[in-house]
Amino acid sequence: MSLSTILLYFFSKQQFNNLQEEKNQLTKTKDLLETIIENAPISIFWKDINGAYQGSNKRLLELINLNNKEELIGKKDSDLNFPEKEEFVYDDKLIMDTKKAKLNYTEKVTINKNIVRIVNTSKVPLIDENGHVIGILALTQDITDQVNNLNQLKEQEKLIIQQSRLASMGEMIANIAHQWRQPLSIISTLATGIKLEKELKISDEKNEMEALDIINQNTQYLSKTIDDFRNYFKKSNYMNSIFTNDLLEKTLKLISSRLKDKNIEIILNTENIEIETYENELVQIYINIINNAIDAFENFKNLDSKKYIFIENKKVDTFLEIEIKDNAGGIDDEIINKIFEPYFTTKDETQGTGLGLFMCNELVTKHLKGNIQAINTTYTYLDKKYKGTIFKIVLPL
Ligand SMILES: Nc1ncnc2c1ncn2[C@@H]1O[C@H](COP(=O)(O)OP(=O)(O)OP(=O)(O)O)[C@@H](O)[C@H]1O
Ligand SMILES: [Mg+2]
């Protein structure tokens, strides 16, 4: 055996070993890839250029209720009889024709009459080394539960909003009752007086006319309050431009009699700022917060102190800052983080639903794109020390 033969022998053996090594490596990589595809937490499948399934992982079989891959491989969507087959075929064709992926879209797959799944799908064209499209690769995830939960949440939110509208309507009716008490009593007193004078035959034309005028004025006032409240209940569908002082005047008019009744003094410190906003929403927010302060005074019996609600607003950069501060003792530290949650209330059922501040927060953050917070505070006013809550609202101008 010549030296060259021996060298050739060793060289070929080395070559053979290298090849074997490469083959082992390839097999390992292929096995790993298959394991990854099979165990990926998402359904994966691929089709050839004619739309026939060429492979999938077991998650896809579970998703479309098939027992094994034989039931899938070689079949087309039309063979599997999905009612949505036309859309699937259309998408596949478009993706292959344009060589453009379609990513992250939601579609429906009807498995049978009782099972409809909502899935999030991404499909990409499969392209060989020569740039030719040879099929399609798809990833899809069952999001039926998430979508259902989301819908349920949305329904719940709608219900809460409806309830809180009803609740604030209830509060408003209580306010109307307050506004009406005095004029109704005037009307009733005057009418009874006229009747009595007539019965006793001591009626005097001039007195009667005066009384009728006053009755008339008061009925007009009653009808005016109804209009004010009716306007307030109209949901604003568009923003309008309003000066903050006008807005406050409107608000205070709606609750003035309740404030007077409870001996609560409003202290204003306001800049007159023009703001583009949903007017009724803002009035509703003011009223909810002021009503809460009125309620808080009921529980906070500090007899030697006057009851104040301070309302401040100012322009800071491009924001309107509103502060509504009371001296009703503040909110317990343990609950202050919960007051904006729906149904959180410390009042009994007949007094509160716990939706007032939730609604304020919704309106401020979602509708008016601002933010609202509650802070306990101690402060001095006219040389006296007070404890209370500040509601601070910041709105973009
Ligand atoms: N100014 C305040 N001072 C003290 N506690 C307050 C004040 N404002 C709110 N709270 C507390 O926050 C809780 C939640 O207020 P929220 O307005 O959401 O509901 P509510 O007033 O209890 O009921 P609703 O407004 O639905 O009639 C109140 O029950 C009260 O305990
Ligand atoms: Mg309230």
Beta pairing, strands 53-56 & 371-381 = unpaired
Residue 328: CB within 6 Å of ligand 1? yes
Contact 194, 213 (CB under 8 A): no
CA of 245 from ligand 1 middle (Å) equals 25
Nearest CA to ligand 1 atom 2: 293
Residue 356: CB within 6 Å of ligand 1? yes
Residue 221: CB within 6 Å of ligand 1? no
For 58-78, how does the pLDDT look when each residue is reduced to its tens digit (9 = 90+)?
999 999 999 999 999 999 999
H or E segment and range at residue 299: helix 279-299
Same-domain pairing of 244 and 389: yes
CATH number at residue 396: 3.30.565.10
Determine phi and psi for 129, rounding to 5 degrees.
-65, -15
CATH number at residue 69: 3.30.450.20
| Angle subtended at Cα 341 by Cα 292 and Cα 339, rounded to the nearest 5 degrees | 40
For residue 395, being part of any structural domain is answered with yes
Residue 353: CB within 6 Å of ligand 1? yes
Same-domain pairing of 243 and 385: yes
For 149-182, how does the pLDDT look when each residue is reduced to its tens digit (9 = 90+)?
999 988 888 887 777 777 777 777 777 787 788 8
- Give pLDDT, residue 278: 87
Domain hosting residue 252, numbered range = 236-397
Point out the least confidently predicted range of 140-144, 296-300, 303-307, 313-317. 303-307
CA of 392 from ligand 2 middle (Å) equals 16
Point out the least confidently predicted range of 113-117, 127-131, 301-305, 355-359. 301-305
CA atoms in the 13 A half-sphere facing the CB of 260: 11
- Give pLDDT, residue 369: 92
pLDDT mean over 307-328: 96
CA of 150 from ligand 2 middle (Å) equals 28
pLDDT mean over 339-358: 84
Of 93, 117, 142, the domain-final residue: 142
Higher pLDDT: 168 or 20? It is: 20
Indicate the number of domains in the chain. Answer: 2
pLDDT mean over 187-196: 93
Q: Which residues surround ligand 2, an ion (CB under 5 A)?
A: 292, 356
The answer on pLDDT for 325 being more than 90 is: yes
pLDDT mean over 17-24: 85
At a CB cut-off of 8 Å and minimum separation 6, what does 16 contact? none
User: Can you point out the beta strands (E) in 114-196?
Assistant: 115-127, 133-142
Of 142, 158, 186, the domain-final residue: 142
Q: Which of 127, 173, 169 is nearest to 355 (CA)?
A: 169
- Give pLDDT, residue 281: 84
The answer on pLDDT for 224 being more than 70 is: yes
Same-domain pairing of 136 and 247: no
For residue 334, being part of any structural domain is answered with yes
For residue 149, being part of any structural domain is answered with no
For residue 53, being part of any structural domain is answered with yes
